[in-house]
Chains A and B, each alone.
Chain A
Amino acid sequence: QVTLKESGPGILQPSHTLSLTCSFSGFSLSTYGMGVSWIRQPSGKGLEWLASIWWNGNTYNNPSLKSRLTVSKDTSNNQAFLKVTSVDTADTATYYCAHTFYNNYDYWGQGVMVTVSS
């Protein structure tokens, strides 16, 4: 059974760096074809793909945020990570991690709310 769970700071100040962790079970990020993606959703709004990391270590970032995003993984501990630098209020959202297979998101975490506020 595949499960994922996001964790993060809840609230942080503008200009700081957001660090999120996705802890998962039921699959390995060292298995061919497996990936974990990060997607966010401001309250009451749509979905935005942020970044993906694959079994082979390849990473892909949303071009609109590319320089601010870093995605990484710890295969041994079944975790994936997302860092977003220089946050501002526009980064306030629920952040999801999702198991990714052929660029589709078939299992999702429950999401973690992140508020950027001074």
Chain B
Amino acid sequence: IQLTQSPSLLSASVGDRVTLSCKGSQNINNYLAWYQQKLGEAPKLLIYNTNSLQTGIPSRFSGSGSGTDYTLTISSLQPEDVATYFCYQYNNGLTFGSGTKLEIK
């Protein structure tokens, strides 16, 4: 399954509601996770099984979707959210999307 993330670059202001998209080439059956990678760091698991928040992740992060279309939402963007976000599917094979780079406007 190939994953297409959009946009590739997103610029938003602190406090904005931000939505990142991930689209699969086939049905993902909700086996979709989101990872956050800050510059120079290893990725961090944010969301798994489409909408389950990983322990210790702030509640401003949420996930949704079904079928081939999935979304990561940050309800109120914070400066520490600057990072690249990768979606990842584990329904058929194991593949990552190409990432969305999120920056502060």
Q: Are the chains A and B members of one assembly? A: yes
- Which A residues lie at the B interface, using CB under 8 A? 46-49, 52, 62-63, 96, 98, 102-106, 108-111
Number of interface residues of B (CB under 8 A): 19
Q: List 8 A-B contacts (CB under 8 A).
A: A46-B96, A46-B99, A49-B96, A62-B94, A63-B93, A96-B42, A103-B31, A104-B48
Taking a contact as CB atoms under 8 Å apart, the answer to whether A105 and B95 are in contact is no
Closest beta carbon of chain A to B24's beta carbon, Å = 15
| Residue among A52, A62, A104, A109 with most chain B CB within 10 A | A104
Q: Which residues of B contact A47 (CB under 8 A)?
A: 35, 43, 86, 88, 96
Q: Which residues of B contact A63 (CB under 8 A)?
A: 93
Taking a contact as CB atoms under 8 Å apart, the answer to whether A105 and B54 are in contact is no
Taking a contact as CB atoms under 8 Å apart, the answer to whether A46 and B90 are in contact is no
Closest beta carbon of chain B to A45's beta carbon, Å = 8
Q: Which residues of B contact A96 (CB under 8 A)?
A: 42-43
Known: A46-B96, A106-B45, A110-B42. 11 other contacts (CB 8 A): A47-B43, A48-B96, A49-B94, A96-B43, A102-B48, A104-B45, A104-B88, A105-B43, A108-B42, A108-B43, A108-B44
- List of 3 A-B pairs having minimum Cβ-Cβ separation, nearest first: A108-B42, A103-B90, A47-B96
Is B97 part of the contact surface with A, judged by Cβ < 8 Å? yes
Is B28 part of the contact surface with A, judged by Cβ < 8 Å? no
